[in-house]
Protein backbone atom coordinates (compact mmCIF):
# COMPACT_ATOMS: atom_id res chain seq x y z
CA UNK A 1 0.00 0.00 0.00
CA UNK A 2 2.78 2.34 1.07
CA UNK A 3 4.93 1.75 -2.01
CA UNK A 4 1.96 2.07 -4.38
CA UNK A 5 0.68 5.39 -3.02
CA UNK A 6 4.00 7.18 -2.95
CA UNK A 7 4.60 7.66 -6.73
CA UNK A 8 1.11 9.06 -7.31
CA UNK A 9 1.43 11.50 -4.45
CA UNK A 10 4.87 12.57 -5.64
CA UNK A 11 3.50 13.14 -9.14
CA UNK A 12 0.92 15.61 -7.82
CA UNK A 13 3.44 17.45 -5.69
CA UNK A 14 5.97 17.88 -8.47
CA UNK A 15 3.38 19.21 -10.87
CA UNK A 16 1.76 21.79 -8.59
CA UNK A 17 4.04 23.03 -5.88
CA UNK A 18 7.09 22.40 -3.86
CA UNK A 19 7.30 21.47 -0.23
CA UNK A 20 4.44 18.90 -0.16
CA UNK A 21 1.59 21.44 -0.39
CA UNK A 22 -0.01 20.06 -3.55
CA UNK A 23 -2.46 17.74 -1.84
CA UNK A 24 -3.35 20.46 0.67
CA UNK A 25 -4.04 22.81 -2.25
CA UNK A 26 -6.43 20.27 -3.80
CA UNK A 27 -8.34 19.99 -0.54
CA UNK A 28 -8.39 23.77 -0.13
CA UNK A 29 -9.98 23.98 -3.57
CA UNK A 30 -12.51 21.32 -2.67
CA UNK A 31 -13.47 23.04 0.57
CA UNK A 32 -13.79 26.33 -1.35
CA UNK A 33 -16.08 24.56 -3.87
CA UNK A 34 -18.24 23.20 -1.07
CA UNK A 35 -18.49 26.68 0.51
CA UNK A 36 -19.38 28.24 -2.86
CA UNK A 37 -22.05 25.61 -3.56
CA UNK A 38 -23.52 25.97 -0.04
CA UNK A 39 -23.53 29.77 -0.47
CA UNK A 40 -25.20 29.56 -3.87
CA UNK A 41 -27.79 27.15 -2.46
CA UNK A 42 -28.56 29.48 0.45
CA UNK A 43 -28.73 32.49 -1.89
CA UNK A 44 -31.02 30.76 -4.38
CA UNK A 45 -33.34 29.58 -1.62
CA UNK A 46 -33.52 33.11 -0.15
CA UNK A 47 -33.74 34.92 -3.50
CA UNK A 48 -36.43 32.73 -5.02
CA UNK A 49 -38.29 31.94 -1.82
CA UNK A 50 -41.89 32.98 -2.17
CA UNK A 51 -43.64 33.31 1.18
CA UNK A 52 -46.93 31.45 1.37
CA UNK A 53 -49.06 34.37 0.32
CA UNK A 54 -52.79 34.69 0.63
CA UNK A 55 -54.85 32.61 -1.73
CA UNK A 56 -57.30 34.84 -3.61
CA UNK A 57 -59.62 31.89 -4.22
CA UNK A 58 -60.02 31.45 -0.47
CA UNK A 59 -61.13 35.09 -0.11
CA UNK A 60 -63.84 34.51 -2.69
CA UNK A 61 -64.85 31.32 -0.92
CA UNK A 62 -65.09 33.24 2.39
CA UNK A 63 -67.51 35.71 0.74
CA UNK A 64 -69.57 32.76 -0.55
CA UNK A 65 -69.74 31.31 2.98
CA UNK A 66 -70.95 34.65 4.42
CA UNK A 67 -73.56 34.97 1.66
CA UNK A 68 -74.81 31.45 2.38
CA UNK A 69 -75.00 32.06 6.15
CA UNK A 70 -76.90 35.29 5.54
CA UNK A 71 -79.33 33.63 3.12
CA UNK A 72 -82.07 33.10 5.74
CA UNK A 73 -81.09 35.76 8.26
CA UNK A 74 -79.09 33.23 10.23
CA UNK A 75 -75.84 35.24 10.31
CA UNK A 76 -77.51 38.29 11.89
CA UNK A 77 -79.06 36.11 14.61
CA UNK A 78 -75.76 34.39 15.37
CA UNK A 79 -73.90 37.73 15.53
CA UNK A 80 -76.49 39.39 17.73
CA UNK A 81 -76.55 36.42 20.08
CA UNK A 82 -72.71 36.60 20.32
CA UNK A 83 -72.92 32.84 20.26
CA UNK A 84 -69.34 32.03 19.34
CA UNK A 85 -69.84 28.30 19.93
CA UNK A 86 -72.67 28.03 17.38
CA UNK A 87 -70.83 30.25 14.88
CA UNK A 88 -67.66 28.24 15.38
CA UNK A 89 -69.53 25.01 14.65
CA UNK A 90 -71.35 26.43 11.63
CA UNK A 91 -68.30 28.03 10.00
CA UNK A 92 -66.05 25.08 10.87
CA UNK A 93 -68.45 22.75 9.07
CA UNK A 94 -68.40 24.82 5.87
CA UNK A 95 -64.65 25.35 5.62
CA UNK A 96 -62.32 22.79 4.02
CA UNK A 97 -60.22 20.52 6.21
CA UNK A 98 -57.14 22.16 7.69
CA UNK A 99 -58.41 25.72 7.15
CA UNK A 100 -58.44 28.20 10.03
CA UNK A 101 -60.55 31.32 10.19
CA UNK A 102 -61.15 34.64 11.91
CA UNK A 103 -64.54 36.38 11.93
CA UNK A 104 -64.57 40.14 12.58
CA UNK A 105 -67.71 42.17 13.15
CA UNK A 106 -67.43 45.95 12.71
CA UNK A 107 -69.75 48.91 13.13
CA UNK A 108 -70.53 50.91 9.95
CA UNK A 109 -67.63 53.21 10.99
CA UNK A 110 -65.13 50.36 11.01
CA UNK A 111 -64.94 50.09 14.79
CA UNK A 112 -64.33 46.52 15.81
CA UNK A 113 -67.27 45.26 17.85
CA UNK A 114 -66.53 41.58 18.15
CA UNK A 115 -64.16 39.00 16.71
CA UNK A 116 -63.11 35.46 17.23
CA UNK A 117 -60.68 33.14 15.52
CA UNK A 118 -59.97 29.45 15.42
CA UNK A 119 -56.83 27.98 16.91
CA UNK A 120 -53.92 28.08 14.46
CA UNK A 121 -55.21 31.06 12.48
CA UNK A 122 -52.34 32.99 10.91
CA UNK A 123 -52.81 36.48 9.43
CA UNK A 124 -49.65 36.16 7.34
CA UNK A 125 -51.19 33.69 4.91
CA UNK A 126 -54.84 34.56 5.32
CA UNK A 127 -57.25 35.71 2.63
CA UNK A 128 -60.21 37.84 3.65
CA UNK A 129 -63.69 38.10 2.21
CA UNK A 130 -65.02 41.37 0.91
CA UNK A 131 -66.70 43.39 3.68
CA UNK A 132 -70.19 41.97 3.99
CA UNK A 133 -73.15 44.04 5.19
CA UNK A 134 -75.48 42.23 7.59
CA UNK A 135 -78.81 43.81 8.45
CA UNK A 136 -80.67 42.84 11.58
CA UNK A 137 -84.26 43.58 12.57
CA UNK A 138 -83.41 44.91 16.04
CA UNK A 139 -80.74 47.39 14.96
CA UNK A 140 -81.14 50.22 12.45
CA UNK A 141 -77.49 50.21 11.40
CA UNK A 142 -75.96 47.24 9.63
CA UNK A 143 -72.92 45.25 10.76
CA UNK A 144 -69.84 44.96 8.58
CA UNK A 145 -68.54 41.41 8.69
CA UNK A 146 -65.32 39.98 7.29
CA UNK A 147 -64.29 36.34 7.30
CA UNK A 148 -60.60 35.56 6.86
CA UNK A 149 -59.35 32.06 6.05
CA UNK A 150 -55.79 30.83 6.39
CA UNK A 151 -54.43 27.58 5.00
| Interacting residue ranges for another protein, rule: CB under 8 A | 1-9, 11, 23, 27, 30-31, 33-34, 37-38, 40-41, 44-45, 48, 50, 57-58, 60-61, 64-65, 67-69, 71-74, 77-78, 86-87, 89-90, 93-94, 96, 99
Nearer to another protein, 45 or 109 (CB): 45
Alpha carbon distance 90, 121 (integer Å) = 17
State in angstroms the smallest separation of the CB of 94 from another protein: 6
Shortest spacing between CB 108 and another protein, in angstroms: 24
User: How far apart, in whole angstroms, are the C-alpha atoms of residue 75 and residue 72?
Assistant: 8
Q: Name which of 108 and 114 has its Cβ closer to another protein.
A: 114
Element (H or E) spanning 56, and its range? helix 56-69
Q: Where are the beta strands (DSSP E) in the chain?
A: 100-106, 112-117, 126-128, 132-134, 143-150
Amino acid sequence: MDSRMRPAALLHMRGWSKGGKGVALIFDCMVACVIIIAGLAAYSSVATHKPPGPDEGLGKYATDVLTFLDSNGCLARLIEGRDSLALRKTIGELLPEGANYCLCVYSPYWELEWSFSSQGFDWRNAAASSPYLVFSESKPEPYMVTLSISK
